[in-house]
Amino acid sequence: MISKTAKALDVQALRADFPILERVVNGKPLVYLDNAATTQKPRSVIQSLVDYYENYNANVHRGVHTLSMEATDMTEAARKRVADFINAPEPETVIWTRNATEGMNIVAHSWGRGNIEPGDEIVTTPMEHHSNLVPWQEIASERGASLRFIPLSDDGTLDLSDLDAIITERTKLLAFTHASNSLGTINPAKLLTEKAHAVGATVLVDGAQSVPHMPVDVEDIGCDFLSFSGHKMMGPTGIGALYAKRELLEGMEPFLTGGEMVLQVSYEKASWADLPWKFEAGTPNIADSIGMGAAVDYLSALGMENVREHEKRITEYALERFKEIEEVDVFGPEDPELRGGVVSFHNEDVHPHDLGTFLDQQGIAVRTGHHCTMPLMSKLGVVATARASFYVYNTEQEIDALVDGIKGALRYFGNGLA
């Protein structure tokens, strides 16, 4: 179904905004299909970093001089733009982090330690990235709580048929990924949040693969926490954001302590600064927060409905073309409404690393491995997959190059494909 409000993006025109897409790799034009790992950056984002370092590089929040005030205004304006992008009610509810992983760890250490009690249950899914699984394993074992998993259906969606038996009065937290980096599955965030809230549980959404690719509205979903990374949405590495409801942040102890996050300090004790700085100890990543603001501007100008629509189309095209290669198993839901632009695939005769190396010779960048979802790989019965993941600048011609490349690899490694 094509959204009524979406309009087709001029992909050729927007490709010109990404200098790296001009690159030649191994004698071939770069076909960049590793966007779930990190995305490419438009010139406006790169320029925002250069602009900061060339014109107003200074530390923030502690200076009365012009450069410091300019840097402070720019990083706080970027926070406001990130907050608006996810429809957070106020910028103070958005904390700068290093990445999605750090956001999840803030929730685990600051909220988890203060709230999870012996006997509590933490409900999650079998498709979590390690960064939304391992912190919960740690907190569960420290606090005497246990993990429960919503089962996975054969089509790669969550099996919600027995949800009321899994999310119960014992559930203290529901932590799930909005979109899977290995299967592509988009989970029903609002419905899951409502179920969890109905039993009084708190909800953490891992937005690492959703915020960059579709409209995400924290007020509509109703979640308590949402964590995501700048580098997966055209921004720089080393910057991310954690959204949380104000009352939760106010009730949480800081994750890190030191400079910038204090109000009053004596030799004996300290009191904490207001939100959001209570959670931002030390000199923050000023340049990259401004870069993340520039990325949000770029995406907002494209329109997230349009971004989603383009990726849905490309994914549908890719799934259609993959049907030509019978030797290859494709994981995840078939319905493009239920999946993002991630296609993981596997052939039992060709190791994914060999396939990835062969594709690299054609200038095609895909990721191979377990994608930081090792338990999911064993559930799927493989040790690794190859994965193509798309973004707004990918074209049908690039999917054609991928499919031709896979066919070439199967021929090369000699499993009988003509």
**Please, which residue, 131 or 202, has the CB nearer to ligand 7TS?**
131
Tell me which of 40, 171, 229, 394 binds ligand 7TS, using CB under 6 A: 229
Residue 201 binds to ligand 7TS (criterion: CB under 6 A): no
| Residue 278 sits in the site that holds ligand 7TS (CB under 6 A) | no
Which pair of tokens denotes residue 280? 């931002």
Instruction: Considering only the stretches 189-197, 206-214, 314-322, 374-382, report the one whose residues sit in contact with ligand 7TS under the rule CB under 6 A.
Output: 206-214
Q: Interface mask (CB under 6 A) for ligand 7TS, residues 299-338, using x and -? A: ----------------------------------------
**Residue placing its CB nearer to ligand 7TS in the complex, 172 or 387:** 387
- Which residues, other chains included, contact 313 with Cβ-Cβ below 8 Å and sequence gap of 6+? none
**What residues have CB less than 8 Å from 401, skipping those under 6 apart?**
31, 362, 363, 364
| N-terminal to C-terminal alpha carbon distance within the chain | 36
Residue 223 designated active-site: no
Position 199 contacts ligand 7TS (CB under 6 A): no
> Is 15 within 8 Å of 32 (Cβ atoms)?
no
Considering only residues 61, 79, 81, 129, which one is a binding residue for ligand 7TS as defined by CB under 6 A? 129
Question: Which of 36, 196, 343, 364 is the binder for ligand 7TS (CB under 6 A)?
Answer: 36
Closest CA to 128 of 98, 95, 154, 104: 104
Among 40, 93, 110, 181, the residue binding ligand 7TS under the rule CB under 6 A is 181
Query: In the beta sheet, which residues pair with residue 121?
Result: 146, 171
Question: How far lies 248's CA from each of 112, 208, 275, in Å?
Answer: 11, 21, 11
Q: Three-state secondary structure along 343-401?
A: EEEEECCECHHHHHHHHHHCCEECEEECCCCHHHHHHHCCCCEEEEECCCCCCHHHHHH
- Given 372, 377, 380, 402, the catalytic residue: 372
For the record, the structure tokens of 50 come out as 């250069």
Q: CB of residue 209 vs ligand 7TS: minimum separation in angstroms?
A: 4
Binding-site ranges for ligand 7TS (CB under 6 A): 36-37, 99-101, 129, 131-132, 177, 181, 206, 208-209, 229, 367, 371-372
- Show which residues are catalytic: 372
